[in-house]
Amino acid sequence: MQWWFSGVTVVACLLLAVFKSGWAWAGEWYVWAVLAAFGLIAWILPKGHKISAGADWLNTRGEIVRIYELTAVKLKGTAGGYNIHLYDVHGHEADTGLDLMYANRDLWDLVYNGIRHSVAHGAQTDALTRSKLQLGREHHEQDSGS
């Protein structure tokens, strides 16, 4: 989220420079107030991302997946690391930053055990996911490049 806000701020400044024919706008107080508001929002929003887990479930942003009933586990690279995407047999999907999961070791242990169980019982993975999560090649694969 913070990268997104940074990108939007940079693009907004460049657009202002192009459409206002220069950097004179940078001397206006209201421009800095808007930029400060963007900075505050970028700092506050990620703090509200809550994750919780139980013996057989994971809740991210209100979406609950059954971690022992996963059909697919995928990692997707982002500018700040990796996001983990989990899909269960009930059609639910959860995703979050992998670093955020690693930050809470007890939560990650619960989730990782469910991932290993699900992959051993047929959940689809890809090479990146198997490598980063150390799942091994013996598990079911789907290397379609998506």
Would you list the domain boundaries of the chain?
2-47, 50-132
Q: Per this entry, what is the length of the chain?
A: 146
What pTM did the predictor assign? 0.64
> In 3-state terms, what secondary structure has residue 71?
strand
Cα–Cα separations (whole angstroms), residue 61 to 3, 109, 118? 19, 20, 22
Q: Give residue-wise pLDDT tens across range 113-146.
A: 999 999 999 999 999 999 999 987 654 445 444 4
* Tokens coding 126: 């890809």
Q: Which amino acid is at 66?
A: R
Q: What is the pLDDT of residues 66-101, one digit of tens each?
A: 999 999 999 998 877 899 999 999 999 999 889 889
Four-way CATH pick for 50-132: 3.90.550, 2.30.29, 1.20.950, 3.10.20: 2.30.29
Of 18-22, 50-54, 80-84, 127-131, highest mean pLDDT: 127-131
Contact 101, 108 (CB under 8 A): yes
